[in-house]
C-alpha cells in the first residue's frame, strides 16, 4: 500500500488578506499615536511651568512672565537664611527651544552672587524663541549638590511670539513675519506621510 504525502500550504488569498489586515492595524495605530502626541503638545502651548522649591534651600525664584527674542532674560534665585551661608555657587541650566521645532542642547551658566542670599543669571534667547526651559543647581560647602528639580527642567517660560503645533501665540506678531520662509509644524505631517508610504510599500509586497 502506498501512502501519499499530505502537503499543506496556506492559501495565497488568506495570507494576503491577513497581511493587509495587519498592515491596516499597524498604520492606524501609528497615526493615532502621532495625533495623540500633537494634541498633548497643543494642550500645553503658552502655559508657563514652575517647580516647587520646598525643602531645597531656595526661598524664591524671580523671572519674567515671558521671554522675548534678542532681549535679556534674567532669573534671580533667593536663598533662605539658613542656606545662604553654606552655598558656594549656584548654576543655572537653560535650554532654548525655537519656532522651527528645534531645542538647543542645555547650557550651564554660573550665576553671579549679588549678596549672600541672592544670585542672578542672564541669557539672550534666540530670535525665534518658543520658550526657555531651566533648572537650578546649588553647590554646598560640604561638596554636595542640590538640583531643583532633581530630574528634568522645573521651569518653562513661553515667548511673546511663539509657534507650537500649528498654533501661533504670544502678545507679539513680529516672529510670524520673520518665520514666513519656513513651514512650522512640518514634523507631524512628515511623520504621517512616511507612515503612509511605508504602508504602501508593504502592501505592494
**For residues 15-19, average pLDDT:** 51
The pLDDT score that the predictor gives to residue 84 is 93
Picking from 169, 130, 137, 129, the residue whose alpha carbon sits closest to that of residue 154 is 137
Mean local confidence (pLDDT), 178-186: 48
> How far apart (Å, rounded) are the C-alpha atoms in residues 46 and 115?
33
Percent of the chain with pLDDT over 90: 59
Average pLDDT (171-194) is: 59
pLDDT in the model for residue 116: 83
In this predicted structure, the answer to whether residue 159 has a pLDDT above a threshold of 80 is yes
pLDDT at 138 over 70: yes
Reply yes or no on whether the pLDDT at 59 is more than 50. Answer: yes
Q: What is the pLDDT of residues 94-120, one digit of tens each?
A: 999 999 999 999 999 999 999 889 999
C-alpha cell at position 103: 531645542
Count other Cβ atoms within 10 Å, centred on residue 53.
19
Residues 75 and 62 sit within 8 Å (Cβ to Cβ): yes
Which of these, 10, 18, 127, lies nearest to 67 by C-alpha position?
Answer: 127
Residue 144 has pLDDT above 50, yes or no: yes
- Mean pLDDT calculated for residue range 23-41: 44
Percent share of the chain, pLDDT over 70: 65
Taking 90 as the threshold, does the pLDDT of residue 171 lie above it? yes
pLDDT at 25 over 70: no
Query: What's residue 16's pLDDT?
Result: 53
At 133, list the grid cell. Answer: 526651559
Q: For 152, phi and psi rounded to 5 degrees?
A: 70, -165
What is the reported pLDDT for 19?
53
Q: What global pTM score does this model have?
A: 0.67
Mean of pLDDT values over 117-136: 95
Contacts of residue 3, Cβ cutoff 8 Å, sequence gap at least 6 = none
Amino acid at each position: 500500500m502506498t501512502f501519499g504525502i499530505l502537503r499543506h500550504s496556506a492559501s495565497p488569498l488568506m495570507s494576503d488578506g491577513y497581511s493587509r489586515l495587519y498592515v491596516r492595524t499597524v498604520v492606524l495605530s501609528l497615526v493615532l499615536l502621532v495625533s495623540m502626541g500633537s494634541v498633548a503638545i497643543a494642550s500645553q502651548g503658552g502655559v508657563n511651568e514652575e517647580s516647587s522649591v520646598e525643602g531645597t534651600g531656595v526661598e524664591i525664584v524671580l523671572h519674567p512672565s515671558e521671554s522675548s527674542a534678542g532681549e535679556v532674560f534674567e532669573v534671580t534665585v533667593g536663598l533662605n537664611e539658613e542656606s545662604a551661608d553654606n552655598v558656594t555657587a549656584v548654576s543655572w541650566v537653560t535650554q532654548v527651544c525655537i519656532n522651527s521645532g528645534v531645542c538647543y542642547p542645555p547650557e550651564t551658566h554660573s550665576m553671579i552672587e549679588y549678596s549672600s542670599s541672592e544670585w542672578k543669571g542672564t541669557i539672550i534667547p534666540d530670535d525665534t524663541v518658543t520658550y526657555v526651559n531651566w533648572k537650578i543647581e546649588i553647590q554646598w560647602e560640604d561638596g554636595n549638590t542640590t538640583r531643583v528639580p532633581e530630574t528634568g527642567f522645573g521651569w518653562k517660560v513661553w515667548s511673546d511670539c511663539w509657534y507650537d503645533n500649528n498654533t501661533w501665540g504670544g502678545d507679539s506678531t513680529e516672529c510670524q513675519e520673520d518665520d514666513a520662509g519656513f513651514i512650522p509644524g512640518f514634523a507631524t505631517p512628515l511623520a504621517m506621510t512616511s507612515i503612509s508610504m511605508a504602508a504602501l510599500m508593504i502592501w505592494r509586497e
